[in-house]
Amino acid sequence: MARCKIAAALTSAVLMLTAGQGEPGGDASTPRDNVVVSRALGKCHLANLFLHTTANADGLAQPVDVRQVPGMPLMFDATLDYNMPGFTVEATAVPKGSCEVGRMSTSAYMVDPGSSLVVQLFAQPLVSQNDLAPQTYSVNVSRLSGTETQLHSLKVGGAYLVPAPSASNLQATRTYRVNLNLEEDFVRIEFQKLDNGQVVAMSAGLESVVTSPARRLSFEDGISSSAGDVPSIGEAQREISTLMTTLDAGFERRVDLSVKSADGSRVEKYFLSVRRPACPQEQRFFDGDTKLCTDTCNEGFYGSTVTGRCARCLDPNCAVCEAGDACTLCLDGFELQTGGRPLASGTSKCRPRGTGSSMNALREVEDGVLSYEKKHKVLVTGASAAFLVAICACCAFLHFTSDGIRRSKRYFGDDDEDEMSQFGYHAESYRG
């Protein structure tokens, strides 16, 4: 990625030098003065060059990207869509007041589908400025035939593709391996159509577990050929489209992009086999919020062994669940609906506290003590037992006090005897 950025930065720097004004931070694609090639003294230069389509039925003219031909400072090319029958040219020459663009036809140039037309532009001195030399520029404008089914560009966010797609191999190469980063929950396919009239549709196959470990590639495998694709002066003609699907960690799936040609006569597909590495065994669940692998999922989530990720408990008010629907602890302010059977699958539901039964007090004690403890099961049982013991003791006490002191004494005596005999029994059994 880092190298990719450097390469992109270098490319734009080169473009700045050859086609831009050299202003620091200036964008080579800004519409003003976009084609100054060199400022050799004593010559007229083109300062900018814009192509537009002829106005369509709605009276709108669309911009057409102009690209400088690599290594040819005075040559440009542009590509019209299948349903762009013609174009107009606008250009200005510098130095202003001394040079003008000659032979500028104000009428549109028409191009047949699948053919091309070269337009020449002359940056020439005004009659009074005979110390300046003219320069001739040419623009080769070709029009797509309408049968093209290749894309102009293709990439997947947070992934490297093998082979790396480029404008030159997207026609012939239809199958790509996509290695998605573990952090990416989405397969985000970004592409530019070659022709805006193309129709692109995505279909994704079922997920399957990655069988062989994904090959860890060095960066050289991922980026390579884009150096040959010179960016246009003004990226206005082809916008970037995005199609998305999902992929769980440790899974792979086939994603197909079908491209229908602008004239509707042909459909061809790109086959992307996307795979995403699994989380390590000791942190086997992927947490979609933090984009990290973990062994403990957050409140309201559970580790799903099926998808290998932290999945949300089905009950939105559940804090801890064993599987999607088996809630064992509710969020603050909520209580489990079923009495004393928190693990009964499919039956546990959290509802607002205070609407419940006589078990309310018990639940409150539990929740207060247990807030999101991992060992909640054990503690719930413990707390329930302690509470019940307390209730029993309380009942017994009330019972005794109402029956009188003499009888209660006898009871206490009996208890003591029982305890003694129990100890005796245990001692025996340990011995035996």
Ligand X SMILES: *[C@@H]1O[C@H](CO)[C@@H](O)[C@H](O)[C@H]1NC(C)=O
Q: Hey, what's the torsion of the CAs at 277, 279, 284, 287, to 10 degrees?
A: -100
Distance, CA of 379 to CA of 330 (rounded, Å): 14
Nearer to ligand X, 79 or 124 (CB): 79
Chain residues 20-49 in contact with ligand X, contact rule CB under 6 A: none
Nearer to ligand X, 137 or 176 (CB): 137
Q: Find, among 97, 102, 94, 103, the residue nearest to 128 by Cα.
A: 97
Choosing from 83, 116, 298, 304, the residue that interacts with ligand X (CB under 6 A) is 116
Nearest 5°: CA angle at 179, between 176 and 182? 160
Please enumerate in sequence order all residues whose Cβ is within 8 A of that of 330, keeping only pairs 6 or more positions apart, or say none.
315, 317, 318, 319, 336, 350, 367
Minimal distance, residue 145 CB to ligand X, in Å: 11
Q: Is residue 145 near ligand X by the rule CB under 6 A?
A: no
Q: Is residue 343 near ligand X by the rule CB under 6 A?
A: no
Sheet with 75-80: list strands edge to edge: 66-68, 75-80, 135-143, 116-125, 99-102
Minimal distance, residue 200 CB to ligand X, in Å: 23
Nearer to ligand X, 74 or 314 (CB): 74
Nearer to ligand X, 80 or 279 (CB): 80
Nearer to ligand X, 78 or 156 (CB): 78
Nearer to ligand X, 114 or 134 (CB): 114
Nearer to ligand X, 142 or 298 (CB): 142
Distance, CA of 167 to CA of 412 (rounded, Å): 94
Q: Is residue 298 near ligand X by the rule CB under 6 A?
A: no
Minimal distance, residue 117 CB to ligand X, in Å: 8
User: Residue 382, class by beta-carbon neighbours within 10 Å (0-12 exposed, 13-18 middle, 19+ buried)?
Assistant: middle
Minimal distance, residue 115 CB to ligand X, in Å: 9
Nearer to ligand X, 89 or 189 (CB): 89
How many residues make contact with ligand X (CB under 6 A)? 5
Please enumerate in sequence order all residues whose Cβ is within 8 A of that of 142, keeping only pairs 6 or more positions apart, or say none.
77, 78, 79, 80, 111, 115, 116, 117
Q: Which residue is nearest to ligand X (CB)?
A: 140
Q: Record the tokens describing residue 137, joined without a space.
A: 């520029």
Q: Is residue 142 near ligand X by the rule CB under 6 A?
A: yes
Minimal distance, residue 262 CB to ligand X, in Å: 17
Distance, CA of 111 to CA of 86 (rounded, Å): 6
Nearer to ligand X, 152 or 376 (CB): 152
Distance, CA of 420 to CA of 75 (rounded, Å): 108
Distance, CA of 420 to CA of 228 (rounded, Å): 93
Q: Between 54 and 83, how does the x/- string for binding to ligand X read (CB under 6 A)?
A: -----------------------x------
Minimal distance, residue 120 CB to ligand X, in Å: 11
Minimal distance, residue 116 CB to ligand X, in Å: 4
Q: Is residue 118 near ligand X by the rule CB under 6 A?
A: yes
Minimal distance, residue 79 CB to ligand X, in Å: 8
Q: Is residue 140 near ligand X by the rule CB under 6 A?
A: yes
Positions touching ligand X (CB under 6 A) are 77, 116, 118, 140, 142
